[in-house]
Structure 1
Amino acid sequence: MTFKPSMAFRAKAKAGEAMVEAFLKKNGKRLGASLHTHQGPPLMAWSKIGSDKKETLVLIHGFGDRKESFYFIAEFLKERLNLVIPDLPGFGNSGMDPDLVYGLDNYIDWLDRFIEQTGLDTFHLAGCSMGGAIAAKLAAQFPSRVKTLSLVGSAGFYLPGKPSIYDEVIAGSNIFYISSPGDFETLQSRIFRKSPPLPTCVKEYMILKAMGDRKWLAKIFDELVDMDSIQSGKISLEQASLNHLCKDITMPVMLFWGRHDSLLPCETAPFVEELLPRAQVHIYEEYGHVPHLEGPRQLAGDMLDFIYGSAS
């Protein structure tokens, strides 16, 4: 049964939204982030942090997320890297266009045009969760442009015999389809090993937003994964995965994964390592699905070691 928020709940959620937006704006200003808009189509909002470093890292966020979630790790990356952080179409401030098809190939085309417009010739690339799948396919398609690839709890790959969120959706349960505060708490417990404490009004805002976005997120998820083809039996989960593209990802790759990831099992990392020509694995024993939020300083340090170690 869908939860029906009271007027008081909605009022507190509104206050929570203002608190979140003020915090993110203040954090972006402190980091020196400049905000830009790629006109597309489709329109893409993006942040740039730094411009005087030799190397640039493009960061691709995960499902249901936004560019500002990388501000925590940016704190520890910005001294050595320029950072380019887009809101993917369909998320954040890039808008929601119901007429678009949010398939993986379209995301690659959109990002290709975006990167070309920003003037980047070669760059380092990192993606978390859904952003990992997009980053991996982008790297496979443009191997001469991507210097290194960092994948954090990456979606897109399939480990036979090990259940993941994809199997759950096929079985009729999408963890991102939020209909109640209880559903939200379950999602938080699945994303984090230890859910972070939130002010009540912020949590109520996040619950209300997740409920309002659930049909939109279901559309993007189904189109991104090509769930219609999988559920109809036209293709298997393995055929829909990026496993077959691994041979084309020829730059150095680091697979960062949380041991307690309950959405995409960490056993996927060593499996994918064997498929990639030049890959390493780093497992975080203390984290879940989002090491960039649970341990941003540690992940940033390890990512910098990887990026600059690969160049030596």
Structure 2
Amino acid sequence: MTFKPSIAFRAKAKAGETMVETFFKKNGMQLGANLHTHQGPPFMEWAKIGAERKETLVLIHGFGERKESFYLISRFLKKELNLVIPDLPGFGKSGMDPDLVYNLDNYVNWLGRFIEQIGLDSFHLAGCSMGGAIAAKFAARFPSKVNSLSLVGPAGFYLPGKQSIYDEALAGSNIFYISSPGDFETLQSRIFRKSPTLPTCVKEYMILKAIGDREGLAKIFDELLDMESIKSGKVSLEQASLNHVCKEITMPVMLFWGRHDTLLPWKTAPFVEELFPRARVHIFEEYGHVPHLEGPQKLAGHMLNFICDAQF
């Protein structure tokens, strides 16, 4: 049964929303982030941080996230790189359009048009979780544009015989379909090795937002994974995965994974490493699914080292 918040709960959640947006705005100003819009279609808001570095890194966020989820790691990356961070269609300030089809090919097309409009000829590319799947498919389609590819707990790859959120979804359990505070707490415990301590009003805002977004997120999740084809037996999970495109990704690849990732098993990393022509793996022993939030400085250091040495 869906949670019915009290008036007091909603009031505190509204205060939490104000606190979150103020926090992001303040952090953006400290980073020197300039906000821009890509009219598309579809519409996308994006942030640019820095303009004086020789190299640019495009950062693609994960499912249910927004561009500001990269602000923590940007503190360290901006010392060496210009940063371009879009809100993907369906998330953040880019908004959700129920008439769009949010499959992987469309995300790659949308990202391609965005990159072309802002005038980037070549760049480094990084993606986390869902953003990793989009980044990998983009790199396979536009190899001349991508100098290096960093994938952080990327979705889209499949390790046969190992349970993941894909198997859970096929069994009828979508971890992102939030109906109650308890569902939200479960999701947090699955994303982080140790769930962050949040002000009560912020947590209540995040709970209400997750409940309000659940139908849209379910649509995006199903279309990204092509659940209709998998459930009908037209394709298997492995056939629907990105395993088969790895050989087309010829630039240097770095796979970062948290040992305690319960959404996408870390053992996928060494398995997929063998499928890429040029790949390395780094496993973070202390993190879960989101190293960019749990250990931004450490991840940034490893990512910068990889990008500087991306000629291996």
For 2:188 and 2:310, how far apart are their aligned partners in 1?
A: 34
Q: Is the Cα–Cα contact under 8 Å of residues 252 and 311 in structure 2 kept in the other structure?
A: no
Q: Is residue 2:149 matched to residue 1:132?
A: no
Could you tell me how far apart the structure 2 residues matched to 1:144 and 1:162 are? 34
| C-alpha displacement of 1:309 | 1.1
Identical-pair percentage: 81
AA matched with 1:205: Y
Q: Secondary structure in 1 aligned to 2:309?
A: helix
Partner of 1:119: 119
Instruction: Name 1:178's counterpart in structure 2.
Output: 178
Q: Report how far residue 114 of structure 1 moved.
A: 0.1
Matched, 1:67 2:67: yes
Q: What does residue range 25-174 of structure 1 map to in structure 2 within 5 Å?
A: 25-174=25-174
**CA distance in structure 1 between the aligned counterparts of 2:311 and 2:197, rounded to whole angstroms:** 39
Q: Residue 300 of structure 2 aligns to which amino acid in structure 1?
A: A
Q: CA RMSD in A?
A: 0.6
Distance across 1 between alignment mates of 2:79 and 2:118: 21
Partner of 1:284: 284
Aligned residue for 1:225? Answer: 225
Gaps of 5+ in 1: none
Q: Aligned equivalents of 1:294 and 1:19: distance in 2? A: 21
Measure, in 2, the Cα distance between the counterparts of 1:211 and 1:99: 20
In structure 1, C-alpha distance between the alignment counterparts of 2:103 and 2:310, rounded to whole Å: 32
Q: CA deviation at 1:242?
A: 0.4
Please list the CA deviations of residues 158-189 of structure 1 after superposition, one character each: whole Å capped at 9, or x if unmatched.
10000100000000000000000000000000
- 1:11 alignment counterpart: 11
Structure 1: distance between partners of 2:133 and 2:165? 14
Aligned length: 312
Aligned mates of 2:283, 2:145 — CA distance in 1: 27
Give the deviation of 1:276 after TM superposition: 0.3
The CA deviation at 1:96 is 1.0
TM-score by length of 2: 0.99
Q: Paired residue for 2:267? A: 267
- By how many angstroms is 1:311 displaced? 4.1
Take 1:121 and 1:22, find their aligned partners in 2: how far apart are those partners?
A: 34
What are the Cα deviations for residues 184-203 of structure 1, in whole angstroms up to 9, with x where unaligned?
00000000000010000000
1:209-239 deviation line (CA, Å, top 9, x unaligned): 0000001100000001100000010100001
CA distance in 2, matches of 1:149, 1:138: 10
User: Which residue of structure 2 aligns with residue 189 of structure 1?
Assistant: 189
Aligned partners of 2:215 and 2:25: how far apart in 1?
28
Q: Deviations over 1:30-55 (max 9, x none)?
A: 00000000000000000000011000
Task: Return the offset for 1:2.
Answer: 1.3
Amino acid in the other structure paired with 2:72:
F
- SS of 1:230's partner is helix
Q: How does the TM-score come out when normalised to structure 1? A: 0.99
What letter is aligned with 1:116?
A: E
Distance 2:255 2:132 in 1: 10
